[in-house]
Structure 1
Amino acid sequence: MDDRMKLKIVYLAIVGAGLALIVAMSSCSNQSMASDKKITCTPDSFMLMPDSSNQAALNLQVHIPKHYFSKRSRLFVIPVLTDSDSIVAKYKPIVLDAPIYRRKMERKWVLDSIADPYDSVALRVTNTKVDLSVLYNDTITLPANFHKGSLVAVASADGCGECRAISHTKIADVFRPEIKKQLHLNWMMHTFEIKPKIREGKGVARLEFVINKYDINLKMSNNQAELDHMLSDIAPVLSDSLATLTSLGIYGLASADGPLKFNTPLSRNRANSALKWLLAHIENGDKVKKIARIGSRPEGWQPVLNAMVAAGDADSTLVKNILTRYANFNDDVQERYIRRLPIWNSIKKKYLQKSRSVEYTYTYIIKNFTTDEEMLQMYELRPDAFSEDEFLHVAQIAESAEKQKQVYETTLKYYPMSKIAANNLAILLENEGKVDEAEEILNRQKAEETKNSPKALSE
């Protein structure tokens, strides 16, 4: 910005200053001022940095050369904050009154009752023909989004400080460093303990049987694919050198349609048929047979109600009312009342499933890794076999921060609720300046914790 442009800038808005004062001082813009002299400041052009509350102490000695303004003038020296070519803030001015100007203002008050808005801050100058030095001491506040610019002392002898500026002096460069968000986390240490690594799996095979029969016909419906899926769940555990199968249970779900006394043994026999097929298709079937169990439990009418609700069937409320009213009774009691509904034939045709569900559950133990050397080696080969404890120990003995970060990321992949992994990974990311990414890691862990809380699971 050149001097000519700066001469045209309006520097200070005075709220409450009466129009009468400006009119009374109609000669304010005609006061003479030495154009060949310039105001200086001590210290001379320094770096001003605000504190965390966006404030900075401005302590200056302002030097005004002799004959800078006339004995009929009022001199304003206004600190102005600029950003490139625009003014963003103005601060408390220095106001100096020459002798004649001071007397004129006093007469205006006596004769016309025109108050001087600067009476309390204006300094009386007895002689404008000598060099003057004025102390400026104030705390300035930067605008919220201001980061970089200059603080300039603008001088005006127009009598009101509003009409025009005739010189400017750079006071300081102003720089507010960007305050980085901090998470204020503390590194969490982990004490490694060797614990049994017990894991479990489960699934459902939906098989179709001849009515009241339990033999499995692989050509019926989707029976072959359902059994193959069950095999694909359990076989990898048996072939894994690090895993030992400890239990296997297969349970037939007794149909709600028909007498429970008849359906219970029928569903148990169907579970046994599924087990026989499985034992014939896995390694060490005889060994698995010793730990395998079969059973039966009622399926109930809830699947029928779910199907009706999913289909948007308005009559689903009739079934729901019966299940609620007879919740403490067995399937036969509920069936008795459902069969009495006028919509029974529609339910039987649309919502009773042709397939029968066979549930399977299994548990197995994964080999523990006990030494640092073994853990580091197996981490590269089989991270899927690690417990959370083992992952955290590997991270703790990692050779670099980058390796630690990678291990914590892997830990959260397998154990998304791991608080230690999320916390320490967030610290490592924050150290790299990735605060937003670190915060996302923490939020994701908390969301997983909330999702799997007892309260959430019970709803």
Structure 2
Amino acid sequence: MKRFVKVSLMLASAAVLLSSCNCYKKMAKNADDVNITCTPTVLSLKGNTVSADITVTYPAAYFNKKAVLKVTPVLVFEGGEITGTPKYVQGEKVKDNYTVIAKKQGGSYTQTVTFPYDSRADLCTMELRVEGKCAKGKHSEFTPIAAIPVAQGISTIQKLADNAAGLAIMPDNFKRVTTISQGAEIMYLINRANVRKGELTKEQIKMFEDFVKEYSNKDRATLGNIYAKGYASPDGPLAFNDKLSKERSQTGQKAISEQLKDVKNAKYDIAAYGEDWEGFKELVSASDIKDKDLILQVLAMYDNPVKRDEEIRNMSSVFDVLAKEILPQLRRTKLSADVDIEGRTDAEILAAVSGNIDVLNEEEMLYGATLTGDAALKIKAYKAAATKFNSARGYNNMGVVLGQTGKAGEAKSAIEKAATLSNDPIISNNLGVLALMNGDVAKAKSYLSALSIPQARKSMGLVNLAEGNYAEAARALDGYNLAVAEVLNGNLAKAKSVLSGDNSAQADYLKAIIAMREGNSSSAIANLKSAISKNSAYKAKAAKDVEFAKLFGTTEFLAL
């Protein structure tokens, strides 16, 4: 098991220092009289750096007036070290521009030290390496005096964030029941309601009949009502046209029912709609009739159908065209039929995903992936949709599952392919999250800051977490990642509440850390044991996690 790197409090080159005469000989001998505090004593990763505030207090009568000290913070860890920015302090007679420490009164300084984060330093010791020299004379070169440990280890709770949780699935459009429709029209002569034989031999009527017959007794198909809706053209007396439209709906229904007499389960619904002003408006709008804008203006000005008819008839220059090209198209009975088609059951779709997935359509493939918790089956379903239908959703969703299972490189390829097929903001969100997972926070922000979808807001919360803006992160995140942010905010009670219903391995590990911070080692061991039983990778992680430093070497910890 790895341990903190040990550093010595003993004076370096002590024999040389004590046997020679120099300005800092007595200072070195009395080094223990110097008071040093470090906040925090366990370092913490915040953003991409590790920092601490060090206060060094020199007692009265300690600091030689001709001495200069160089105090360098250093992170020491197994296999290397990282050197921070040194601090220089000087006695009163030194002619330099360092911080002056008076000999009679003593003095102090506070220095904020910052190091770039290096994962090798998780179990490190931060020491202050003190070197001394005299302003003049043969001892004017810095010589090591002491190496003083002031902090141990780096807490990396920030790295526990589940960035892959920011990856978003694009929804399927699967519907268990789909409705298909077919329509046709029976046309009439002006002021007439009788159905001419030629109308029933038209291609559209034959197609309508075939549609009804096909689905009247088809497996998983339910034929709805057959509608016959009668209309009259908006010319002539209003009452007459109302009656005429009713007669047309009746004759139309009678005619089509005779054609469909072999369909035993056919149900009919008739309705009369009188003068068809809406149809008139649509046909005029789509036409190239001269003064059509004037005609449409009349329709907008008057709601009364009688007044409309009167005004349009007064437009003698265009009425003949309307009577020839527009009005005949409105003398009709509209036939329509709907059929509800029931799709495959969940069990059938899941069986196809596991077996012959090619029998499914795109929406069934995308939906089928949501029916299983097996990542391999999800990937199979999404990959099938992607390759067979060149589906952007298939590529995106496959990338999400790959990213959530630790295959970030494959996830990136799949989602980048989705981006070539669609500009859906969910894909941009996922590209931002992948950049974050790869450690490129700036690139992640460039993707996410331009998005307004809810998924991007949560993903920006993960960016804030990575940048060390924990309070801001907590406002955007939820679930496990919110708990991570609240631990970093010091809100342990809130974090525990958020995790109360989460029994995942990552939640158990975070609960163990919370228990350690609350001083409950037995609860920490229990939660750590649970986390390891669900994901053995936490065994190695805990072994070098400073959060469990107080347990290092204990029987219970070693047993895990």
TM > 0.5? no
> TM-score interval w.r.t. the shorter chain?
0.3 to 0.5
TM-score by length of 1: 0.44
Relative to total residues, which structure has the larger helix share, 1 or 2?
Answer: 2
Between 1 and 2, higher relative CO (CA 8 Å, sep ≥ 6) is seen in: 1
The structure that has the greater radius of gyration is 1
